[in-house]
């Protein structure tokens, strides 16, 4: 068990006292029994025994209750190793670490190069690894349709290699993934409020990007040291960033108008830092509760930012004529995340608080 001792950025910081360390009962009995039977006489035996001890975990631990890493403790401060330095989310994570006084460094190795990842970890000696690297395509995911090998190398081979190297080193990996692996269906109809849950099987492979993401998520389920965060249509208060969902749709000639789950980075990225501190694992729908449509977002933009702004809609059939691959539209169930972080705002509340109020140019 763990105990909250203080609050940081409104989220409780958990530590594990020596007598309450997050060790598995199976692990404790195993190590006690083994230590009574014989002593290890070679370095190789000692190393292998430590690896075995580290990864005998219970199903509860693997599900999301915390990975018993070699991470920070009473005598070891936090040290994050980040991947995705040149990316949007990777850059924001670095800013957050600076703001919170967390020691961190960016990895320089390529994800598909195991030796370079091992070198990064040996040099940084991190307590946690956060991965925001990968291929989304420029200017959009259509790029992946004509660069399939590059997409596989980064999104599948690279991510799996990083997860495996982290596990070998007893490190938690927080992996920023995507929730664009589902689409509304008969069991989750548009407008029903019934969202896809963490255990649901992805049903959208319309784009090669989504196909690779669904593939790697399924494989990562087998790694008990990975925390997978399903991000969707990310939005931040920086309305000049071309990766920002709001910035994108304000620049389109026409937009579809479909309710979707979305991620407000200003609110959720600090939560991802807290999840790392708690060593949470498993898959998490990493969006704000509820859905918001394109038109609702653009109306907010008009109300708060530019009263002269206007836009035009078109349907999915018309959209299909100007894009290469179909796009995912869905609602994700955020019950699991909301239960862990009750203060999490709904998508519309979060949009107002973190995006439109700070950027407001129109008088009320």
Tokens 């509860």 sit on residue:
60
Please report, to the nearest 10 degrees, the dihedral formed by the alpha carbons of residues 216, 222, 226, 229 taken in order.
Answer: 50
Q: Is 98 domain-assigned?
A: yes
Q: What is the distance between the terminal CA atoms of the chain, rounded to a whole angstrom?
A: 49
pLDDT at 21: 36
Q: Is residue 9 part of a domain?
A: no
The token pair that represents 59 in the structure block: 């199903």
Residue 45 belongs to some domain of the structure: no
Q: What is the pTM of this model?
A: 0.79
- Tell me which of 317 and 360 has the higher pLDDT: 360
Tell me, yes or no, whether 143 lies in a domain: yes
Kindly report the number of other CB atoms within 10 A of residue 95's CB atom. Answer: 10
Residue 68: pLDDT over 70: no
pLDDT for residue 160 is more than 50: yes
Highest mean pLDDT among 34-48, 72-86, 247-261: 247-261
**The domain that contains 103 carries what CATH number?**
3.40.50.720
Considering only CA atoms, which of 181, 284, 186, 267 is closest in space to residue 226?
Answer: 284
For residue 185, is pLDDT > 60? yes
Q: What would the pLDDT profile of 83-102 be if each residue is shown by its tens digit?
A: 999 899 999 999 999 999 99
pLDDT of 334 higher than 60: yes
Q: Is the pLDDT of residue 225 over 70?
A: yes
User: 77 pLDDT exceeds 50?
Assistant: yes
H or E element in which residue 59 lies: helix 59-60
Q: What is the pLDDT of residue 321?
A: 60
User: Percent of the chain, pLDDT > 90?
Assistant: 62
Is the residue at 117 inside a domain? yes
Higher pLDDT, 293 or 50: 293
> What pLDDT, on a 0 to 100 scale, did the predictor assign at position 210?
86
- Per-residue confidence (pLDDT) for residue 183, from 0 to 100: 94
Quick one: pLDDT band at residue 55, thresholds 50, 70, 90?
very low
pLDDT for 148 = 85
How far is Cα 270 from Cα 196, in angstroms, rounded to an integer? 24
pLDDT for 19 beyond 60: no
270's enclosing H/E stretch is: helix 265-277
The secondary structure of 342-353 as a DSSP string is: TTPPPHHHHIII
The answer to whether position 90 is within a domain reads yes
- At residue 62, the pLDDT reads 38
Residue 298 falls within a domain, yes or no?
Answer: no
Is the pLDDT assigned to residue 217 strictly greater than 90? yes
Residue 39 inside a domain? The answer is no
d(CA 248, CA 236): 12
Closest CA to 297 of 265, 249, 253, 264: 249
The range of the structural domain enclosing residue 176 comes to: 79-238+261-292+332-347
Contact 139, 90 (CB under 8 A): no
In total, how many domains does the chain have? 1
């Amino acid at each position: 068990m763990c105990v909250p001792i203080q609050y940081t950025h409104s989220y409780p910081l958990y530590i594990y006292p020596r007598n309450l360390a997050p060790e598995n009962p199976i692990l404790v009995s195993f190590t006690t029994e083994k230590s009574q039977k014989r002593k290890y006489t070679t370095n190789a035996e000692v190393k292998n025994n430590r690896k075995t001890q580290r990864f005998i975990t219970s199903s509860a631990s693997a599900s999301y209750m915390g990975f018993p890493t070699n991470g920070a403790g009473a005598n070891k401060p936090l040290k994050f190793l980040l991947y995705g330095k040149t990316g949007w989310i990777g850059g924001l994570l670095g800013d957050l670490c600076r703001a919170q006084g967390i020691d961190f460094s960016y990895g320089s190795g390529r994800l598909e190069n195991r030796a370079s990842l091992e070198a990064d970890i040996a040099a940084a000696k991190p307590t946690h690894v956060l991965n925001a690297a990968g291929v989304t395509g420029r200017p959009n995911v259509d790029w992946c349709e004509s660069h399939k090998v590059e997409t596989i190398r980064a999104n599948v081979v690279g991510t799996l290699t990083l997860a495996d190297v982290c596990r070998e080193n007893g490190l938690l990996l927080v992996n920023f993934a995507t929730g664009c692996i589902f689409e509304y269906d008969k069991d989750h109809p548009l407008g029903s409020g019934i969202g896809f849950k963490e255990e649901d099987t992805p049903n959208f492979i319309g784009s090669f990007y989504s196909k690779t993401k669904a593939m790697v998520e399924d494989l990562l389920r087998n790694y008990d040291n990975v925390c997978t965060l399903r991000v969707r249509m990310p939005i931040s208060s920086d309305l000049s960033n071309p990766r920002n969902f709001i910035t994108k749709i304000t620049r389109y000639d026409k937009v579809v108008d479909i309710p979707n789950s979305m991620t407000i980075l200003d609110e959720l990225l600090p939560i991802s830092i807290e999840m790392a501190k708690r060593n949470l694992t498993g898959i998490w729908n990493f969006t704000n509760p509820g859905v918001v449509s394109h038109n609702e977002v653009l109306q907010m933009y008009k109300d708060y930012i530019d009263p002269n702004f206007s836009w035009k809609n078109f349907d999915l059939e018309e959209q299909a004529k100007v894009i290469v691959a179909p796009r995912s539209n869905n609602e994700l169930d955020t019950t699991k995340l909301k239960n862990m972080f009750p203060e999490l705002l709904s998508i519309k509340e979060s949009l107002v608080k973190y995006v439109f109020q700070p950027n407001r140019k129109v008088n009320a």
